[in-house]
Amino acid sequence: EVQLVESGGGLVQPGRSLKLSCLASGFTFSNYGMNWIRQAPGKGLEWVASISSSSSYIYYADTVKGRFTISRDNAKNTLYLQMTSLRSEDTALYYCASLNYGSSYWGQGVMVTVSS
């Protein structure tokens, strides 16, 4: 069974940093591109960042470019999102997801709240 389990969320002050992790199991993690997608409370889905299977290709949404860094450790089956210079508008539920043609797997999400 495929499982994606996010961790590392919490309450953080504006301007501070936070690092999210996503532990994958049940599939060959190193073969698949991965994504972070977020959802602000009561709002829609917003793609944040993508990384290819070997980390060769990395893409960011304009709203986080220069502040967030996506990375992965295939030996640990783990996806990361380093978030710096956090703003109130970054408050959201952050999902780790493997989105493939014909299939998708999502974690349950981890909440990040940016507030003083």
Q: Interface residues with other proteins (CB under 8 A)?
A: 35, 37, 44-47, 50, 57, 59, 61-62, 95, 99, 101-104, 106-109
32 or 47: whose CB is closer to other proteins?
Answer: 47
Q: How far is the CB of 39 from other proteins (least distance, A)?
A: 9
**Taking the complex as a whole, how short is the minimal distance between the CB of residue 44 and other proteins, in angstroms?**
5
Q: Which is nearer to other proteins, 9 or 107 (CB)?
A: 107
Three-state SS for 41-62 is CCCCEEEEEEECCCCCCEEECC
- Least distance to other proteins from the beta carbon of 18, Å? 21
Q: Which of 37, 67, 30, 68 is nearest to 52 (CA)?
A: 30
Sign of CA dihedral 34, 70, 55, 7: negative
